[in-house]
Amino acid sequence: MFSMPLRDGARLGPLEVRHAEEFAEHLDRAREHIRPWVGAAFVTGDLAGARGTLERYARRQAADGARLFGIWREGTLVGGVMFTDFQAALGSCEVGCWLEPAAEGHGLVTQACEALLDWAFHVRGLHRAEWHCRADNDRSAAVAKRLGMTLEGVRREAWPYEGVRHDKQLWAVLAREWRAPGR
């Protein structure tokens, strides 16, 4: 499979079922940090759950749907990016990410998401890419801004977490805007 270099000695590559043990170990380091911001089904608590998440993404990828990619830094899985939704027939996708705390602040997510969006727009010919995040997740919103996305709206109280409902932002970029002059 492929491996794409990122800055600071990191690399981007497919996160597959064969990485289940490594993914489970990574989630042990990242779980409490990412739990408020990602879907509950993603933040599993054991090897079987990690394998299940990777198997779900593998099935969806086989159907030309969602895809999952890991970010490795110095040989250690530290996070990743994904197409949480990918609908070629509709020309749209949703991009997401997660990182453990030690990997934040290096621009890895932005660079990795740029690679995903380049592929979605230039290779697959998609028309629109979305980014969804809790309205109080400033780091996630900052990535959407760096990707040139426009805040299209807020879905009020659309994100339940630990008995509290949070607002959810919807960001998007269109193919014609993606690498527009001045971007």
Q: What is the tens place of the pLDDT at every residue in 130-141?
A: 999 999 999 999
CA distance 78 to 120: 23
Q: What is the tens place of the pLDDT at every residue in 13-58?
A: 999 999 999 999 999 999 988 988 998 788 888 999 999 999 999 9
**Count of domains in the chain?**
1
- Of 81, 98, 94, 8, nearest to 44 by C-alpha is 98
3-class DSSP state of 125:
coil
3-class DSSP state of 126:
coil
Query: Is residue 94 domain-resident?
Result: yes
Query: Is residue 66 domain-resident?
Result: yes
- Asked if pLDDT for residue 9 goes beyond 70, the answer is yes
Q: What is the tens place of the pLDDT at every residue in 59-104?
A: 999 999 999 999 999 999 999 999 999 999 999 999 999 999 999 9
Find the helix or strand (DSSP H, E) in which 27 lies: helix 20-34
How does residue 183 score in pLDDT terms, banded at 50, 70 and 90? Answer: very low
- Asked if pLDDT for residue 182 goes beyond 70, the answer is no
Query: Is residue 71 domain-resident?
Result: yes
What does DSSP assign to residue 107? S
Query: Is residue 115 domain-resident?
Result: yes
Range of the domain at 116: 4-178
Entry field: residues in the chain: 183
CATH assignment at residue 169: 3.40.630.30
8: alpha, beta or left, given left = phi > 0 and alpha = psi -120 to 50?
Answer: left
Contacts 24+ apart (CB under 8 A), 151-157: none
3-class DSSP state of 167:
strand
Query: Is residue 183 domain-resident?
Result: no
Query: Is residue 48 domain-resident?
Result: yes
Query: Is residue 97 domain-resident?
Result: yes
CA distance 49 to 68: 15
Query: Is residue 83 domain-resident?
Result: yes
What pTM did the predictor assign? Answer: 0.93
Residues 85 and 61 sit within 8 Å (Cβ to Cβ):
no
Mode of pairing for the β-strands spanning 67-73 and 10-14: antiparallel
